[in-house]
Amino acid sequence: MISLTIRDRYAMNNDAYLKPTFFIDSDSEKIRALANNLKSSSNSEKDLAIQTFRFVRDNFPYTIKDFQIDNPSGFKASSTLEAQRGFCIPKSILLVALLRANDIPARLHFADIINHRSPQHFRDLMGGSNVFIFHGYAEVFLDKWYKLTPSFESSLCIKHDFPLCDFTGSNDAIFKSYDLKGRQFVDYIKDRGVYADLPFDDMVKAFLEFYGPLLS
């Protein structure tokens, strides 16, 4: 078992990044049970953060098939755990919830990105665009804040020559500018900041403004 010391090191005015919220329901029974399992197989705070990140990245296949802007509850961490799949925002919410359930400060970060390797059926769904508004990823606090992108599982990266986002405890794990064959991959074009919970209304507003009737 791990004796966590992060809370003692962390400024208490940032306690919002440790608390459960509507979407980051880290107090859910199933979330806490999974968090305890991950904790029992880890031997340090850093190792626990690494294992939690890799677990969410690789055990919840990336998909946007369940995307519903009229169903807020579908974005809850416990909903993603039950669905066993998700896209960038639900997977990041789940990662943050599991970290908070183990008293590790974590938060959400959002940005607009261009995915140059976005498949055609994704572009068709988005009116031909390869711009992803409100792309979500997580941040974890250890000795400082680290960015964690759990979106694409290892098998998907291998299949499409995507560089794997991996976390070793002292690095940012975000999308690279080029894929493994030197082709353009991801550009970050707008930072939307960090949040203690999913800003659902702001997200929906941004989606509707950018994608318009495609979401109706």
pLDDT in tens, 132-143: 999 999 999 998
- Mean of the pLDDT values across residues 29-48? 96
Task: For residue 157, give its domain range.
Answer: 7-215
- Mean of the pLDDT values across residues 81-94? 97
Q: Judge whether 133 lies within some domain.
A: yes
Average pLDDT taken over every residue of the chain:
91
Name residues whose C-beta falls within 8 Å of residue 80's C-beta, 6 or more positions apart in sequence: 60, 86, 90, 91, 93, 94
Q: Judge whether 2 lies within some domain.
A: no
Task: Say if CB 131 and CB 89 are below 8 A apart.
Answer: no
| Helix, strand, coil content of the chain in percent (nearest 5) | 40, 20, 40
pLDDT digits (tens, 9 = 90+) for 188-202: 999 999 999 999 999
Query: What angle (nearest 5°) sits at the alpha carbon of residue 119, between those of residues 62 and 58?
Result: 20
**What pLDDT does 7 receive?**
53
Residue type, 204: V
Q: Judge whether 28 lies within some domain.
A: yes
- Mean of the pLDDT values across residues 101-113? 97
Q: Judge whether 93 lies within some domain.
A: yes
State the total domains in the chain: 1
DSSP-based three-state secondary structure for 86 = strand
- The token duo for 200 is 């659902």
Q: Judge whether 1 lies within some domain.
A: no
Query: What angle (nearest 5°) sits at the alpha carbon of residue 194, between those of residues 188 and 195?
Result: 140
Distance CA 192, CA 141 (A): 19
Question: Any idea what the CATH number is for the domain that residue 62 is in?
Answer: 3.10.620.30
Q: Judge whether 156 lies within some domain.
A: yes
Q: Judge whether 149 lies within some domain.
A: yes
**What pLDDT does 125 receive?**
74
**What pLDDT does 12 receive?**
46
Q: Judge whether 157 lies within some domain.
A: yes
pLDDT digits (tens, 9 = 90+) for 4-26: 455 555 544 568 999 999 999 99
Looking at 59-163, which runs of residues are DSSP E strands? 106-115, 131-141, 145-148
Query: What angle (nearest 5°) sits at the alpha carbon of residue 63, between those of residues 66 and 84?
Result: 75
